[in-house]
Chain A
Amino acid sequence: MTRRTLLAAAAATVSCARDRRPRLNVYNWSTYIDPGMLTRFESERGVRLLYGTYESNEEMLAKVIGGNSGWDVVFPTHSRLAPMARNGLLASLDHARLPALRNLDARFRSPAWDPGLRWGVPYMWNGTGIVYNGAQTPAPQSWAGLWNPNLRGRMTMLDDPEDAIGACLLKLGYPFGSVDERQLQQAKAAAIAQKQLLRAYLNADVRDQLVSGDVIEAQLWSTTAAQAIQGNAKLGFAYPEEGYPLYCDCAAILRESKRYDLAHEFLEFLLRPDVAAANARVAETATANGPAQSMLPRDPVLYPQDAIYRRGIWPTALPSAVQRYRDRLWTEIKSA
């Protein structure tokens, strides 16, 4: 094949991918939607959905912060909504076009981070707790369980400064979102002491090692924990008594979007109970949709009982100076 035919073939492939239907560009966390629901929305509305995925809020922010990313709908974590709105990145929601907002679970109809639901529709949520292997260790009650010297080399923490430092703060009896330098210094000392006992700082990668029994205790998100538990029935999940962080990812429309109407239609579509249930089933996480919850098995890992739920903390965005201070502490912990 000559270079010219190659080029022609490539050009043909590109032009085949072009499609005349109106297009909506959705940027979401990976495995956070049922692909079948995407095609359903496409055929119902006669539109084309372009669906991309990201792995962290920062990855998404880096793309959309310029205000010309091409995405229409994104799914920031609740604590990122207010800063994004302040930076003029989000379009405010038109509730007249979102009658299905009534389907939201009562907890999410007027959340503390966005009381009037101006910027984002709560989509999926999960908490951070401790996964443990019940065959090897009793259920930890407290974050201090992750400082267990008997499990040296068999424990992991999340590779995330907010969660890891937050757990140290909670263990010491301080608030998760502490801005006090003395408290943060103590948390750093606790983290450095803990590091000797840890196998590694791992995020979702730890799942397989929990299932295989390599790791006995891990700080982990309830979603990933529930997936691990499916693979190994001996695993359990504990929400520590000092409290634990909760995170809710919300569907939001970018201000740069030129498809404001279609974006609302998509958000409304996501709020349908059957659609929300299908998505939650694929994402294996907790949905913020009330009727959808009753269509799904009530997993106590994903949906903690009320008494436990009340211990949950919804983190807020930290002031810039504190954020910087924490980043430095994290570097000190990592290079200790």
Chain B
Amino acid sequence: MKGRALGIYAGMAIAFLHAPLAILVAFSFNSGRFTVWQGFSLHWYRAAMLDPQLSEGLINSVVIALFASVISTVIGTMAAYGIWRRSAPVLSGTLYLSLVTPEIVTGVSLLALFEWAFRFLHLQLGLYTVVIAHVAFSIAYVTIVISARLRGYDRTLEEAAMDLGASQWRAFSRVTLPAIAPAIAAAGLLALVVSFDDYVITSLVAGVDSETLPMVIYAMARRGVSPVVNAVSALIVVAFGAIVLISQRLQAR
């Protein structure tokens, strides 16, 4: 009885989480601009596809998210493993602090750092500054996800491998790494998503050739609720839904 009530409640809660997006997606097929249904149309999807700024933003976002998630996953995995071997309070504290720093502060402080450094180096803001910033705030997410997995992992396995003569590196790469691979995949995915989603920090450290998709969407949305934004978000939901499903399959295997 109690179980069923809980199930109904959970169903409603999940519906609450999905309803706004479902409605947004539904109205992306509306031929009119407004919340009154005026007939089915793919007009807004065509408009989204043909928009050169959207496609350039998409390419930039994908490139940035790929680089940032790969780098932060490598760094974060190593950090989580190091912390798991023996605690590193300063690093852990810093990572947590980075997680709770208001985005605007992270963004402005990075912009200040870059501008200061550029006085000595002949460089400019660009895709790579966005990647640097994204890695800086993604490491914490990766480390937390992998640390959670490592907590449930039996230390003695690795020790046994080392007793049998494996170096620590071999023990790590042959025993521990495969065991936490699903968590690494999940962490990488999380990093990919936070990178793809970020607007505040990105808009501050982006340079001449690095306008990302959220920046384009923000500019469009500021001009009013545009159905093109609905269409783009529908595409993003579907794309990420597919990625999540695929990664689920991979992990289940």
Contact = CB atoms under 8 A, between A and B. Distances in A.
A212 B225 CA distance: 12
Contact of B223 (A27, A69, A204, A212): A204
A70 B224 contact: no
> Most chain-B CB neighbours within 10 Å: which of A66, A71, A207?
A66
Contacts of A31: 219, 223
B83 interface: no
Contacts of B127: 14
B209 A50 contact: yes
Interface stretch (B9-17, B154-162, B200-208): B200-208
A225 to B, nearest CB: 13
Interface in B117-151: 118-119, 124-127
B70 A17 contact: no
Interface stretch (B40-48, B59-67, B163-171): B59-67
B223 A207 contact: yes
A10 B66 contact: yes
A207 B223 CA distance: 8
Contact of B63 (A10, A52, A70, A71): A10
Nearest to B66: A10
Nearest to A38: B52
Interface in A181-216: 203-205, 207-208, 211-212
Interface string B21-44: 000000000000111000000000
B224 A205 contact: yes
Given A50-B209, A53-B219, A6 B203 contact: no
B209 A62 contact: no
A35 B52 contact: yes
A88 to B, nearest CB: 14
A50 B70 contact: no
Given A50-B209, A69-B124, A17 B34 contact: no
Contact of A6 (B66, B111, B223): B66
A203 B221 CA distance: 12
A212 B34 CA distance: 8
Contacts of A96: none
B115 A204 contact: no
A70 B119 CA distance: 13
Nearest to B218: A55
A298 to B, nearest CB: 24
Given A17-B209, A50-B209, A66-B115, A208 B52 contact: no
Given A13-B63, A212-B34, A6 B70 contact: yes
Given A6-B70, A62-B111, A70-B207, A17 B59 contact: yes
19 contacts: A3-B70, A6-B66, A7-B66, A7-B70, A10-B62, A10-B63, A13-B59, A13-B62, A17-B59, A27-B208, A50-B208, A55-B218, A66-B115, A68-B124, A69-B125, A71-B208, A204-B222, A204-B224, A212-B35
Interface of A: 3, 6-7, 10, 13-14, 17, 25, 27, 30-31, 35, 50, 52-53, 55, 59, 62-63, 66, 68-71, 203-205, 207-208, 211-212, 231
